[in-house]
Amino acid sequence: MPEIHFAALDLNLLRVFHALAEEGSVTRAGARLGLSQSAVSHALNRLRYALDDELFVRGPAGMRPTARALEIAPRLHEGLRHLQLAVAPAEFVPAETRRRFTIAAGAYTSTVLMPTVIAMIRQAAPLAEVRLQLAAATLGEDLMTGRVDLAIGAFGRSTPSYEREALFSEAMVWAVRADHPAARAGVLTLADIAATPHVLMSSSEEDVAVDGRVTETGLERRVFWDDRGEVDEVLARAGLRRTVALRVQDAHSALAIVSRCDMIAITPRRLSTTLAAHYDLRLFEAPYASPLIQIEALWRREVGETAPIAWLRGCLRAAAAQL
């Protein structure tokens, strides 16, 4: 391998390498860097010459890194992160920052928690930009590469690469329309749960979930908002079983549908309580032991104590304390 003269290497080429390694596409890398496809291709050719390696080759799923590129990528990512920290302002002033905060959260936390968080951010940091996006199947990778600053949700096991902080607990309640026979009786029984068709909150990741959770890049997260394991077990012991009539993506949709049909759904208490009057619903505690769901903030270990993320975490804690 020829000797590489680092002093003569254009550092902008390393930014192109980093974008290609993360995006796996010349088009997406160019869009991320504000460069044309031809400019990215030209930069890649210069890198190939400088490093004497193909680095990225075209494959059916996009640009595939070579063994040399796979060796370089994690070290370069860490180096660029340190450079970013080195040139960042020594003091973080919320009122003056124009930083973009990218937060991954589901529909439930976006409805229950984030309105208060956003109001706090707008008041303290009016020039900042917030990007709120759904937690994707690539959440672990998004956190590790810095595409997402922080995630909010129900998480299971994780590697030491992540840190987390408990925000609040949530209980699940059963919801039916106000004039449903079970509502008129004033009490919800296991027989009612078995006899009434269910609206089930599902997920596009259901096929790859195990016990309602998926694991990716050392991070386990909950993708189902119900206690299907507990209720199915309780019903089975009583010689009963439930009927799933409909699957939807989120609790808000489940509550809206239940309000117009003789169906039942188990949904998060805070959201259900907020919408019960609007949809004319009756809410019932589960007639069995239903575990609480722990909602946490989670981030990559190295960034947790940086001033911007520490400040953002403080906003989340303050908002959660108001729930």
**What does the pLDDT look like over 143-162, one tens digit per residue?**
888 889 999 999 988 888 89
Is CATH 3.40.190.10 correct for 172-291? yes
Q: How far apart, in whole angstroms, are the C-alpha atoms of residue 18 and residue 24?
A: 10
Domains 6-87 and 172-291 share a fold: no
Q: DSSP string spanning 8-65?
A: GS-HHHHHHHHHHHHH--HHHHHHHHT--HHHHHHHHHHHHHHHTS--EEEETTEEEE
Average pLDDT over residues 6-29: 82
Tell me yes or no: is domain 6-87 CATH 2.40.50.140. Answer: no
Q: pLDDT category, 228, cuts 50, 70, 90?
A: low
The predicted structure's pLDDT at residue 213: 64
Burial label, 6 (beta-carbon count in 10 A; 0-12, 13-18, 19+): exposed
Residue 1: pLDDT band by 50, 70, 90 thresholds? very low
pLDDT tens column, 253-279: 999 999 999 999 999 999 999 999 999
CATH for 100-169+295-321 is 3.40.190.10
* Residues 173 and 303 sit within 8 Å (Cβ to Cβ): no
pLDDT tens digits, residue range 293-314? 999 999 998 888 889 999 999 9
Average pLDDT of the chain? 87
Percentage of the residues of the chain whose pLDDT score is greater than 90? 49
**What residue ranges do the domains of the chain occupy?**
6-87, 100-169+295-321, 172-291
pLDDT digits (tens, 9 = 90+) for 79-103: 877 777 666 666 789 999 999 999 9
